[in-house]
Structures are given as structure tokens and as C-alpha cells.
Structure 1
Amino acid sequence: MGSDTTTAIRPFAIEVPQADLDDLRERLGRVRWPRELPGGGWERGVPLPFLRELADHWRTGFDWRRQERALNALPQFTADVDGQALHFAHVRSPEPGAVPLLLNHGWPNSLVEFLPLIGHLTDPRAHGADPARAFHVVVPSAPGYGYSAAPSAAGWSTARTGGLWARLMRALGYDRYGVQGGDLGAYIAPAVAQADPGRVSGVYITAGLGFPTEADVPGMTPEELAHYEGMRKWSAGGLDHHALLRRGPQTFDYGWADSPVALLAWMAHKFQEFHVAEGAFTDVIDRDLFLANVSLYWFTRTAGTSSWPMYDTEESAWPEGQRHVPTGVYSGPPGIRRLAELRNDVVHWPEDNPGRHHFVTMESPGPYAADLRAFFAKVG
């Protein structure tokens, strides 16, 4: 667990210099656009007309200061935990008896992922929900993301991050708390329970548990086998960012750090692949919310430093979870519950929650908050 030391927690506010905003607009105003490749749609990557329109809006219509004010409306802090400089938001509920809850963002995302959700959790009364099911919310930025310092050496892991979060929650005075996570957070959230099983009440995962692998094939039912084949076809059609970032994150980061359009295209490509409905991802995720996330990566130059979960691994693997505390999910499918239960005490596995995007809290914060409350009502 390390030395278990946390230095003084200090208030923090995001203040992007005006010179950085001016530089971003200047770069967006002199893009050297490529030719459109044949193929149409998203088959060869982000369509040129889509990206040109998005870049133009980023330059002329997007209001970073408005997004900055929304982020700074959340009480934010920094702290050094075991020598790692961390950034986090800590939003306390006005409701007595609120339950502490640790939220874990995904990749390539940030604190922005939870902007639409936090109010539903901390002040359910204002959203027509039961005030007895309120949460005090803690949202740390993972190492190398946003305003948390990047790992200083190779070999960082989600287990190590989980240990840091356990110590952070202890430093904040929480003896008992719940943990949530999606995408990268689906790996970190179980790691928090493994590091702090006596204090964690339950782990709530957006999705990802029970994903079948080649090793599961011999024991599959015909229905599960058909499900597995469908998942393989879907994954084969995407850009394998795990393989890309495992081998050359430094190479690609030169483009992401120097060209806002290179970063925008990379982010748009991944958000589109994470979209499971027809049309563009901007049909379900607010365009300015997406650009707030891209902007945060741009201003903090963290597109490369955020890739450690991929480059410090030898191969891609689905999150496995843990057996220390009960587990619930927002969306069981496309996972298989029988497989998830091999490594988790699953007590909550809905089949029909709404969601058309991988980052569902950015799309459907109300239903997500309702289901999260339902899970923690079961585990206490």
C-alpha cells in the first residue's frame, strides 16, 4: 500500500491563460487540410466535412470560458498522495446522511465526463428523485489526465491508482464509501475495493464485465457463442488503440500536442467508435461537452501522458472485477452474466437501461443516476 501519506489538501481552480486560448484559435485558423480519401462516411476515419465543421465551431463558436466556469463551479483540490500530485473534485451533498461515492472517469475522457451527472447524485431533490439517496461525490483525475501529474516512470498500473484513491478517501475522512467506474474506471474501481475492502460498500461498473474471450469458448452455450462471434466482428472493425498506444505513444503525441486538429480527429474517431447507434456521436453527446473534454486535453497536453494504461501492458484484456464487495452494472449486455459471476459477486445486472454511447453519463445522466441509486440501495 506504500507509505500511506497525504499532504495538505489545497483548493484549486482551472485558469487557462488567454494566450493559450489565442494560440488555439490561431492554430485552428491555419490548418493544412488533407484530401478526402475515397470510401465515404466513417469507413476510412473521420470524414473531412465533419471535422472541418467541428474544428470551425471549436475556433469560432465554442466558449471555453463558459466550460471553465462550469468546471470551477465544482469545488476542486490538489493533494500529494504517496508523492503523486493529484487533482480531484469534491462535491458535498446538501442532504444529511448522503453516501460518499468515488467516480472514476474513462479514456479518453476526464472530469468532464461527469459534469451532466454530478448534480443528479449530490442533489436528487432538485431532479425529482428521493433526497434520501444522495451522494457526496469525489472525482479524481487519474494520473497523467488533466491536472493530475503524469506517472514519473513506466510500470504504473490501475492497481496502484486504486490504492491511491483508497488513501485519498481516507484522507477526506470517509470510513465507508461506494465506488463507480466505466471504461478505464472499470479497471480502477475494482482495484479500489481490492485495496480497501473493509471500507468500500460496493462497486458499480458502467459496463464491461463478463466479456467472453477465446479461453471461454469451450464452455459456451450456442447462444453465448453467437454473442461472442458478434462481439469479435464488432471489435475487428475498429481502430485498436490498445495496440497503437502500446507501441508508439510518444510518436503520436507529437501530433496531439502540436496540432489541435490532430487531437480533435483522434478524439472524434474514438468517440464515434464508442457510439452504438446510427449517425454521429454528436447526435447523442452535446458537441460543446465533447469539445470541453478535448480542450482540457489540449490545454494540459495530456493526450500522451493519459495513455499509460495501454503502453504499460503486454496485451489487451477486459476488466475482471473483484469478489471483495458486491458488484452492480448499469448495462449487463454485451457482457455475459455467467462469466461475470466467475470473478464477481453480482447483485445488480439490468438488461434494458437506455444508452447509445459508451460514455453514457454524458448522454443519459438521469437514468444512470437512478440505476446507480438502485444499486447502492441494495448494498447499503
Structure 2
Amino acid sequence: MTEQETTDASALSRRALLLNGAAVAAFAALRPATALAQADATPFEADNIRPFRVDIPPAALVDLRRRLAVTRWPDPEPVDDRSQGVQLAKLQSLVRYWEAGYDWRKAEAKLNALPQFLTNIDGLDIHFIHVRSRHADALPLIMTHGWPGSVFELLNVIGPLTDPTTHGWTAEDAFHLVLPSIPGFGFSEKPKGTGWNPDRIARAWDVLMKRLGYQAYVSQGGDWGAIISDAMGRQAPPGLLGIHVNRIERSTTIPPDVARALRSGDPAPAELAAEERAVFEETREFLAKGFGYAAIMGTRPQTIGYGLADSPVALAAWFYDKLADWVFTRGEPERAFSRDEILDNITLYWLTNTGTSSGRIYWENSAGNSKLTPIAIPAAVTIFPREVYRPPKSWAERAYRKLIYYNRVDKGGHFAAWEEPDLFSAELRAAFRPLRQL
């Protein structure tokens, strides 16, 4: 790399170009040409909503390929399965494609085809996509991604949710859609201090929706997005009509005797029904063999972060392991996503250097997690068959006192919107239909 390229690569504090001057006026006049965004652009108000466009410097992509080319690989795993983690041959195959075949500019174009913005809330710049439906009576919906995901995992549901008539549904099923990036993820700013836990993010999301002019709206999430939606449900700000989640918090739903048995290592309580006993055994297996990643980031996010910031292969392995664990096609994420889709998400983390900062939400949640009380506002739940935790309805009702919708579907895993966008969109339509007249 030249000296100038090195300087450019190290100066990626924003990793995107903000439009200004005449460019702002041009951006405000844009209307996306596809059904993904039949929308008026977000107004540029005094509330510091600024247009945003992704434009990663070429030097950053050169640096990425250089690092991939000089990777020092470990020995192959001495087992013939995934019991020790990501298998060498699979990761090497993905990395070879990342170095020689993958094109980040196509991913960039996906984002730039959508209306993107920044707004400052509580001292932090928040990145979000805002797609207004062409149907005037659409229901405003803020939808939040999780870890190790990003707004990329939600892009395929934008069309079905904002433009339902093109996808075989009616105008009455339309949503105005807001997709924020969690602080420390993607193009949202990284907190410089502590305290950005799910409760604080939930309050920020209400500010965002009110700032956009939505006085009544609903919230949805999976993974951390579900935890944030739950926090919004507990806070119950005026105008929040209800929530939908496709991931349920264990601690709020597991009965006390079941929780005690899990903590102590005792057998499942004898009175459990067959479905409940299956959930108990799956939960015990996950806590024993699949929860290490969260324990590390919940206690030592900075320590693991050095490798995630310095080595793209370390970052890819850390994320690929969870994709493989949690998709419907267990152990085979390539059967759920294309290599480009996998790498769009990983490359976003690499180019924004958010492998470390995104992990801190686990520490924040562990450090500041108060007693979680039941949620009183309307709530809806969809259980996807390969989600990590799949409680029966009777358990879910412990957390959601006004459970207006509970459904178990036959396809999909932890990344439901990403894996099954049509089914996921149908679930949101059904779940929120009772709230449209409120």
C-alpha cells in the first residue's frame, strides 16, 4: 500500500460520505425506482436528520484483501464434526471467495438504493433506513436486527412489508418501515462511554419514531432486536401500540422450578409435559455447549475484540460459527444464505470495525440488567422451528400478559427475516392486524 492509502485506511472513523450542500438537495429529490421503497424521503428537519450514503474508500478494500492473503491458519480440527467449532476447510473456502470473488460494491449498492439517514439521539449518531409505503394508511413499524446480524438481515422483507399489493396481499397490510442500526453496530456511532443497554436503546427508538412524525407505531425484533422490543414494551411509551418478537427471553418465561433445575444440574421436574421437557433438555444443551460466545462478550468483550479488529478471518470465524449453529439448516449456513449474503454482513462489521463495539451490548446487558417484569401492552410471538429457545404458549404468557398472537411455523431459524422473508412478513401482517384500528 502507498503512504496515502495507509492514511486513508486508518482514517475510517465514519467509513461513509455524508452528502452536503447541493448534494443534499439532490438526495432529497430522489425516489427509489423499485418496489422496495415507494416512499417520500424523510424530511430534513431541525431534529438533525441527515441523509447518509455508504462510500467505503478503495484503500480499505485493498487492505482487507491483503490481510486475507497473509492469513496464518491453525491446524485442522482433529474431529470430523463441528464439536470444536468452525471447520478449517469450510472457512478456508469462504475466505478464498472473500479474497478473490466477493464484491463489496454490490452490497454497498443495496444499501444506497434505500433511503438512509443519520440522526443524533442522546449524543450518539444513529444510522437508519426509512422506507415509507406508498399506501397512506400503512402502519409505522420499527424493526431491529440482532448479533451477529445487521440491517442486511432485514433487507429482503422491505418489499413484502412496505408494498404488499405487489406481493399478493392488500393495501391494508402495509407498513412504513424504520430499520435502525444498534449503537456500536454498522454505521451507527460507537458509544464512547457505558450505559447503552437495551433499556436506553429502547428509549432512543421511541425518540426516533416520534422524530419521524409517527405518533402511533409498533416494534419488532429478533435476537437483540427482541430484547430491545421487550424493553420498549415494558416502558410502554405513549403511541407504542404493541410488539412482535421471534426470539423470547428465557429468564422471563421459564417457570421457577425449571430454572432451579437448570442452574443446579438436576433432572427436569417430573410434572413437565412432553413439550416442556423437550424445551428443558434443549435449553440445558444450549447453556452447556452453545452459550460460550455470550459468556465471553458478556464479561470480556475487549479481550476478544483485539482479534476481531485485527484479523478479518477471526471475525469471519466468530460470526460463521453462530450462523452455522442457529440457521434452520443446522451446520450448513450456505444452504440458508448465499456466500455473498454471508459476506455482506461480515464485511460490514469489518469495514466499520464494529466487531468489538457490537459485542459490548452483551456486557452492558449483564452489567445493568434489572429484574425483568411482565409486559402489559399487546404482544405477539412467532416461534420458528430452529430458534434456540422455543417455549410453549403457557410459558410465553408468563412474560406477555396480553399475548394477542402466538404461532409456531414450520420453517426458519434464528435469523427468521433473513432465512424466510415471505413467511416472516406474513407473520407480521397477521400479528399486527388486530392493532391497526387502535
User: 2:171 corresponds to which residue?
Assistant: 131
User: 1:7 corresponds to which residue?
Assistant: 47
For residues 17-32 of structure 1, the aligned pairs below 5 Å read 17-32=57-72
Aligned pair in 2 of structure 1 residues 303, 278: CA closer, same or farther (>3 Å)? closer
User: 2:239 corresponds to which residue?
Assistant: 199
CA distance in 1, matches of 2:97, 2:384: 36
Asked whether 1:350 is paired with 2:407, we answer yes
Unaligned runs of 5+ in 1: 1-5
Work out whether residues 255 and 395 of structure 2, in 8 Å CA contact, stay in contact via their aligned partners in 1: no
**Aligned residue identity for 1:269:** D
CA distance in 1, matches of 2:311, 2:157: 31
Match of 1:251 among 279, 303, 308: 303
Asked whether 1:282 is paired with 2:322, we answer no
Q: Describe the SS at the equivalent of 2:296.
A: helix
Work out whether residues 132 and 176 of structure 2, in 8 Å CA contact, stay in contact via their aligned partners in 1: yes
The TM-score normalised by the length of structure 1 is: 0.92
**Aligned residue identity for 1:128:** G
Aligned pair in 2 of structure 1 residues 185, 319: CA closer, same or farther (>3 Å)? farther
User: 2:107 corresponds to which residue?
Assistant: 67
Farther off after superposition, 251-260 or 149-158: 149-158
CA distance in 1, matches of 2:362, 2:95: 28
Asked whether 1:307 is paired with 2:359, we answer yes
User: 2:56 corresponds to which residue?
Assistant: 16
User: 1:3 corresponds to which residue?
Assistant: none
Work out whether residues 199 and 228 of structure 2, in 8 Å CA contact, stay in contact via their aligned partners in 1: yes
Q: Describe the SS at the equivalent of 1:85.
A: strand
User: What is the deviation of 1:33?
Assistant: 1.3
CA distance in 1, matches of 2:185, 2:50: 18
Asked whether 1:335 is paired with 2:391, we answer yes
Unaligned runs of 5+ in 2: 1-45, 261-268
**1:70-101 CA-partner distances (Å, limit 9, x unpaired):** 01111000011121211111011112211110
Q: Describe the SS at the equivalent of 2:238.
A: coil
Q: Describe the SS at the equivalent of 1:267.
A: helix
Aligned pair in 2 of structure 1 residues 97, 287: CA closer, same or farther (>3 Å)? same
- The alignment of Structure 1 onto Structure 2 pairs a total of residues equal to 375
For residues 319-334 of structure 1, the aligned pairs below 5 Å read 322-331=374-383, 334=390
Q: Describe the SS at the equivalent of 2:156.
A: coil
Asked whether 1:269 is paired with 2:325, we answer no
User: What is the deviation of 1:314?
Assistant: 3.8
CA distance in 1, matches of 2:342, 2:298: 25
**Aligned residue identity for 1:369:** S
Aligned pair in 2 of structure 1 residues 314, 101: CA closer, same or farther (>3 Å)? closer
User: 2:12 corresponds to which residue?
Assistant: none
**Aligned residue identity for 2:395:** L
Aligned pair in 2 of structure 1 residues 56, 166: CA closer, same or farther (>3 Å)? same
Work out whether residues 138 and 176 of structure 2, in 8 Å CA contact, stay in contact via their aligned partners in 1: yes
**Aligned residue identity for 2:193:** A
User: What is the deviation of 1:234?
Assistant: 3.4
CA distance in 2, matches of 1:94, 1:318: 41
CA distance in 2, matches of 1:197, 1:65: 39
Q: Describe the SS at the equivalent of 1:178.
A: strand
Match of 2:256 among 215, 224, 229: 215
Q: Which has the higher contact order (CA 8 A, sep 6+)?
A: 1
**Aligned residue identity for 2:314:** A
CA distance in 1, matches of 2:298, 2:244: 28
Note the aligned Cα RMSD (angstroms). Answer: 2.4
Asked whether 1:187 is paired with 2:231, we answer no
Work out whether residues 329 and 335 of structure 2, in 8 Å CA contact, stay in contact via their aligned partners in 1: no
Aligned pair in 2 of structure 1 residues 325, 80: CA closer, same or farther (>3 Å)? same
**1:98-129 CA-partner distances (Å, limit 9, x unpaired):** 11100010111111110111111111122222
CA distance in 1, matches of 2:410, 2:291: 27
User: 2:131 corresponds to which residue?
Assistant: 91
User: What is the deviation of 1:198?
Assistant: 2.4
**Aligned residue identity for 2:256:** A
Q: Describe the SS at the equivalent of 1:7.
A: coil
Asked whether 1:376 is paired with 2:432, we answer yes
CA distance in 2, matches of 1:25, 1:318: 44
The TM-score normalised by the length of structure 2 is: 0.80
CA distance in 1, matches of 2:103, 2:383: 33
Work out whether residues 329 and 348 of structure 1, in 8 Å CA contact, stay in contact via their aligned partners in 2: yes
**1:105-161 CA-partner distances (Å, limit 9, x unpaired):** 011111111011111111112222222211110011111111111222123210000
Asked whether 1:233 is paired with 2:285, we answer yes
Q: Describe the SS at the equivalent of 2:399.
A: coil
Q: Which structure is larger by alpha-carbon Rg, 1 or 2?
A: 2
